[in-house]
Structure 1
Amino acid sequence: MSSTSATEDFLRERVAIVTGGGRGMGRAMTLALAAAGMHVIATAARERAEVEAVAEEAQRQCGHARVLPLCADVTHEDDCERVVAAALQRFGRLDVLVNNAGRGMKYVSPQFLTEPTRFWQTDPAVWRMVIDTNVNGPFFMARAAVPTMLQAGWGRIVNLSMNRETMRRRGFSPYGPSKAALESETVIWAQDLAGTGVTVNALLPGGATHTGMIPEGVDASVRAGLLVPEVVVPPLLWLLSPAADTVTGKRVVANRWRAGHEGDALEDAGC
């Protein structure tokens, strides 16, 4: 049996939540988990039509319904608890949480790639929105999900991160600081959950990726060099497999991923 088949056998009928599951990497991960036989709750803060479209696409690919689309804002604690409750009510379990929902630099300025905005020029409302989504949102989701995972004695939390160089990039407030905080959350939560069977890791594409984080109108030469969202799928599936049972508090750089050479893509978490 191939390692891919073994992973799919292990994941079949398990249940995952993917926040921000309607586009970009969230869409790619939702479809991949459904194809691996998992039940997936895909959330979107406002764009319900997007997660419904992903659910329909997954059903066409799998032959039956695998994705439950929900409208839920990760910045609202009650919404996060409602998503976890929906997983338990619908499927009777929750095994995986993928904290993918995020807000990027395009909310600060559409020209963020070419004309950096200094931190003191950033609208405080935008700063709060990005921090609330990228830092508080994963906390609210993990806080709601972990008790069920602890009771089961097994679980996976995967936080979507970014390159450390980009965290320190000039003009990249508040997105850079928000992801640095998320990596701190990753390593601290991994220590808090040590020995429980629940792991916490960060997953990052390894470069700028063709997602909604990149505004329209970006130069074609820049777009040509973007990674595809699906780059995160192979390492994600590995992180959910029994092979990664002892991997926690790590960051996985997706564009370094080579099956059989997992160590090449692993780094210690924290910025």
Structure 2
Amino acid sequence: MLPPPAKPLKVEAVAAESLGRGNVIPMIADVARDKDCARVVAMAHDRFGRLDILINNAGRGMKYVSERFLTEPTRFWETDPDVWRMVIDTNVNGPFLMAQAAVSGMIAAGYGRIVNITMNHATMRRRGFSPYDTSKAALESETVIWAQDLDGTGVTVNALLPGGATATVMIPDELLQDGLAKLLEPTIIVSPLLWLVSDASSGVTGGRLDASRWTREGPEADAAAAAMDDAGWCAN
């Protein structure tokens, strides 16, 4: 069964604290729909005059396949085809459609940062983790190809991962209550993300930054170097 659509009131509540400063605009959009992606980008240009940063963080996880996915793996042929399509639409097609809508303005400005949220390579190989693992492997390929396509434009494309299972809405409440998952805090990605979207990361593109390897002491350039690899699959 597919999830219900998001509720506008919940989105508005999340944004309420920042609305007074005008830096958060609540809206409902589906990244799997090209017209919605174009509308989001147009809204950013209308409100702020430009769009410098795109973070492809929207995603559907394994809980839509099974609430017990961490303890009872679902074999790929047991997966509901509608759920498979939903995950791929959101996690693979969504970043493509958002980047496609955003990138022309970035190229015209000569500046842009695209960050794709990915995951550990080991999880991409994990039994019973498709289509989520499949979608993230595809997103990593997108990262490598887009970085090459945008070379020389001033627009960079990099992947960012927490470095392990993270306490987000993708983990079912039942598993959290059972204590079956040792989870990282979502805030682990904040410092490396801010570095990736800053001027300090100029010229860095086609990489994957593992937030769990980011050191909090010393210069950020050193922390980035210690946490960064090439995106995609390592050649042996």
Tell me, in whole angstroms, the C-alpha distance in 1 between the residues paired with 2:147 and 2:8. Answer: 32
Alignment map for 1:17-166 (pairs within 5 Å): 46-59=6-19, 64-166=21-123
Where does residue 7 of structure 1 map in the other structure?
none
Match of 2:180 among 222, 236, 240: 222
Identify unmatched segments of 5+ residues in structure 2. Answer: none
User: In 2, Cα distance between the equivalents of 1:262 and 1:50?
Assistant: 35
Residue of structure 1 in register with 2:145 after alignment: 188
CA offsets 1:72-94 (integer angstroms, 9 cap, x no match): 00000000000001111111110
Q: Please point out which of 212, 223, 227 is paired with 1:255.
A: 212
CA drift of 1:142 comes to: 0.2
Q: What TM-score does the superposition give when structure 2 sets the normalisation length?
A: 0.91
Partner of 2:92, secondary structure, is: helix
The one of 165, 174, 184 aligned to 2:131: 174
Deviations 1:136-193 (A, max 9, x none): 0000000000000000000000001111100110000100010000000000000000
- The structure with more strand, counted as a fraction of residues: 1
Q: What is the CA-CA distance between 1:254 and the residue it aligns to?
A: 0.7
Query: Match of 1:232?
Result: 189
Match of 1:38 in 2: none
- Alpha-carbon distance between aligned partners in 1 of 2:158 and 2:75, rounded to the nearest angstrom: 31
Q: CA deviation at 1:221?
A: 2.8
Determine the C-alpha separation between the residues in 2 that align with 1:124 and 1:233: 35
Report if aligned partners of 1:130, 1:174 keep a CA contact under 8 Å in 2.
yes
TM-score, normalised to structure 1's length?
A: 0.80
Separation (CA, whole Å) in 1 of partners of 2:109 and 2:25: 22
Between the aligned partners of 1:54 and 1:263, the Cα distance in structure 2 is: 34
Contact 1:55 1:66 in 2 (8 A): no
- Residue identity over aligned pairs, in percent, reads 65
Distance (Å, rounded) in 1 between the aligned partners of 2:10 and 2:97: 23
Q: Does the 8 A contact of 1:46 with 1:73 survive in 2?
A: no
In structure 2, the residue corresponding to 1:258 is in which secondary structure? coil
| SS of structure 2 residue aligned to 1:70 | coil
Deviation at 1:53, TM superposition (A): 2.1
Alignment pair present for 1:201 and 2:163: no
The alignment covers a number of residue pairs equal to 223
Cross-structure match for 1:270: 232
**After the TM superposition, which segments of 4 or more aligned residues of structure 1 sit over 4 Å from their partners?**
none
Long gaps (5+) in structure 1: 1-44
